[in-house]
Chain A
Amino acid sequence: MLRLHLYPLRQPGYIDRVDWSSLSPLEGQRLREFGICEGASIEALHRGGLLGRGPLACRVGRMTIAMRRSHAAAIHVRSGPDQVPQ
């Protein structure tokens, strides 16, 4: 298991755990609205910035979202398929 900002690019995984307490309430709300939740499928796609210090673009479900490394660091990702309860 790795945190999202360290997770290899273009390798689908699923969200194991989110440290909601390390995010501000507003950030937490927006991430939930984007579909970030325990069990959702996620894939890191692109890292921005010339030295890789920029934001991260990732796919959540069928959406692409951009977030900063600090947000990505709160998301723990496990390799494997989508685990949203059916």
Chain B
Amino acid sequence: MTAIPLVALVGNPNAGKSALFNALTGARQKLGNYPGVTVERKSGRLSFADGRPVELVDLPGTYSLDPTSPDEQVTRDVILGRQAGERLPDALVIVVDASNLDNHLRFALELIALGLPTVVALNMVDLATRDGLELDAESLSRELGVPVIATVAVRKRGLDLLRQALDGLLDGNVRRLRPSQPDVAFDMRRAEATRIARAAIVTETPSRRLTAAVDRVVLHPVAGLAVLLALLFVMFQAVYAWSEAPIALIEGWAAAASDAASAGLPDGIVRSFVVDGVINGVGSVVVFLPQILILFLFILMLEATGYMTRAAFMMDGLMARVGLSGRAFIPLLSSFACAVPGIMATRTISDPKDRLTTILIAPLMTCSARLPVYAVIIGAFIPARSVGPGIGLQGLVLFLLYVLGIVGALAAALLLRLTVTKGQSSGFLMEMPKYQWPRLRDVLIGLWQRAVIFLKRAGTIIFASTVILWLCLSFPKPPAGSTMSPVDYSIAGRIAGGLNVVMEPIGFNRDISLALIPAMAAREVAVSALATVYSIEAGDDEAALERSLGDRLQGRWSLPTALAFLAWFVFAPQCISTIAVTRRETNGWRWPLFMVIYLFALAYAAAGITFWTATAAGL
């Protein structure tokens, strides 16, 4: 049996490659990693008319086979058959942006010269037309010597023709690359690309009206900054405002499951495990899925519309002051959703020191895993009142926590750039794609992938830590007649008692110390851990069990303690996945260890200062 043919999708950044990949493969996608590097491998299946399958792999966008960053290197190595864990592709689909032909054809010529069976997808022809550009695909095909298919990936136009063209290329013969000629020089290829592009242009009016008009506002030094801040503010308010109804729905389900389990299981250890450990623990985290998806929705939309690079442009001045570039802003903004993809997105930064600094500060961006923690504490301690038209106090406090993370990150970057990652700052060079409407389908695929990742986390890491914590909290049981509470008597209670000696000066109590240990796995575990602790402590007290976690916290924590807890989570590196991905990205333990130490030191100081200040202010 022969392996199914492998086709690589390759092209410049912003050629619409991912949209074409989604259109060709639909939801049948597999996300993985190339061995030894953290570059994501995205592959999917497409079928020919007679049902034969083809594996399509979406390679990171690049400008040439001369890589300047780790992900561009993967693209080159796959295409040249040098990438470990990947065979030489049987064919290439080169995606070029119809409205940026001369630039994209230069890379296309470099790829065609390799001699692999190739088809060119002349993508986004609709946007080219909008911009006043008419192209002749046939003339282009004659000049390039390979089939050229006009496509509009987002409207699924040209996909059948593209499949047919691919079918014609895959004849089952073994491929061999022509020796590459890196020095057939860049300038000659560029001149050739310009000549071919001009020959293919039927009519051209110099117009990019929409993009130019929007850019006049969003890149304006004052108006643009106002737009950026307004967008971020709306994003954070939406996380609260839009999530109320779906959260209530999930809470309802969790309560129903808890009632059903309580009714159906006999009183005892099994019921305690299911209700306290599984349903209360995992349920208290899953309830934040709507907020996490809203945050990802904004980030995916900002990326898909082309606004993200404008935000990077607006931020470059500020980032330059702390020794970074606007390019670092994109991984940092992604880190608001989750630091793991954020740290992985630093691969597009070519300067090693810029990249390392960005990795080290990425965990300071308020990731979605902090939301459950912030939401519970804010919900319990900050009154839900309005402080202005459309501005709630709770949303405002959340916004301030985000700002604190950002300010902390910038200060940390500045210090790191002056000490451990000292060196000349690299510049800021970036292509700014034209604006487009995000396509619902692409956004939904992105959201679906995030939801699956989050629920898998809830089902594995969070479930396991919750169960282990439940075990440590439940055993050993205090002997009859003991005056100690079951939690104090348990293994976990005793460990937390020890840790509490260090944590008490910054206002933390035993329950917090207890929650912080399993929360090393993931921040949101702190919430499920507190839920489990108070659920076990409540024992059979029906009235206590019915109170929400927020109500229970209100009775036990002072306001300064709650605020110190919030400040702790702005800085604390409590996430195994982030530490693991940092180790992978920096090839060793040195930097993740450094990151953990400096962030814990910052967290301790921030919590302490918050607690002492709040206490002194009489809160």
Contacts from A to B (Cβ < 8 Å): 24, 26-27, 29-35, 37, 45-50, 52-55, 57, 59, 61-68, 70-71, 84-86
Contacts and interface: CB of A to CB of B under 8 A. Distances in A.
Given A33-B63, A45-B215, A26 B103 contact: no
A13 B212 CA distance: 18
Contacts of A33: 63-64, 106
Given A46-B215, A61-B100, A53 B317 contact: yes
B106 to A, nearest CB: 8
Contacts of B215: 45-46, 57, 64
B64 A66 contact: no
Contacts of B216: 46
Interface centre among B103, B186, B195, B222 (most CB of A within 10 A): B103
Given A57-B215, A66-B313, A34 B431 contact: yes
A57 B432 contact: yes
B387 interface: no
B63 A50 contact: no
A1 B148 CA distance: 41
B220 interface: yes
A65 B103 CA distance: 12
B316 A48 contact: yes
B432 A64 contact: yes
B352 to A, nearest CB: 11
A50 B316 contact: no
- In order of increasing CB-CB distance, the 10 nearest A-B pairs are A54-B317, A33-B63, A49-B317, A46-B219, A64-B432, A55-B316, A66-B430, A68-B427, A30-B429, A66-B313
Contact of B429 (A49, A64, A65): A65
B326 interface: yes
B194 A84 contact: yes
A85 B187 CA distance: 12
Given A35-B102, A37-B187, A27 B427 contact: yes
A7 B309 CA distance: 23
A31 B432 contact: no
Interface in B276-331: 309, 312-314, 316-317, 320, 326
Contact of B191 (A29, A65, A85): A85
B68 interface: yes
Contacts of A46: 215-216, 219-220, 313
A31 B316 CA distance: 18
Contact of A63 (B103, B314, B326, B427): B103
B221 A61 contact: no
Given A27-B427, A61-B103, A66 B190 contact: no
A15 B435 CA distance: 26
Contacts of B103: 34-35, 61-63
Q: Interface size bucket, B side? A: 35 or more
Contacts of B320: 54, 68
Nearest to A64: B432
Given A30-B68, A54-B221, A57-B219, A63 B316 contact: no
Interface centre among A35, A48, A53 (most CB of B within 10 A): A48
29 contacts: A24-B426, A26-B350, A26-B351, A27-B429, A30-B68, A31-B429, A32-B190, A33-B63, A34-B103, A34-B431, A35-B190, A48-B313, A49-B316, A53-B317, A55-B313, A55-B326, A57-B219, A59-B208, A61-B100, A61-B103, A62-B99, A63-B431, A64-B215, A66-B326, A66-B430, A67-B429, A68-B427, A85-B191, A86-B195
B243 interface: no
Nearest to B427: A68
Given A24-B426, A50-B225, A63-B431, 7 more contacts: A34-B103, A37-B190, A47-B221, A48-B221, A52-B221, A68-B316, A68-B427
B600 interface: no
Interface in B84-114: 99-103, 106
Contacts of A54: 221, 313-314, 316-317, 320
A49 B220 CA distance: 8
B429 A34 contact: yes
A66 B317 contact: no
Contacts of B212: 45
A12 B386 CA distance: 51
B221 A65 contact: no
A66 B428 contact: yes
Contacts of B509: none
B25 interface: no
Contacts of A47: 221
B66 interface: yes
A68 B313 CA distance: 10
B206 to A, nearest CB: 9
A28 B68 CA distance: 11
A64 B431 contact: yes
Interface centre among B103, B225, B429 (most CB of A within 10 A): B429
A32 to B, nearest CB: 6
A37 B432 CA distance: 19
A30 B64 CA distance: 10
B427 to A, nearest CB: 5
A63 B133 CA distance: 14
Contacts of A85: 191
A34 B220 CA distance: 23
A47 B198 CA distance: 30
A30 to B, nearest CB: 5
B68 A29 contact: yes
A26 B316 contact: no
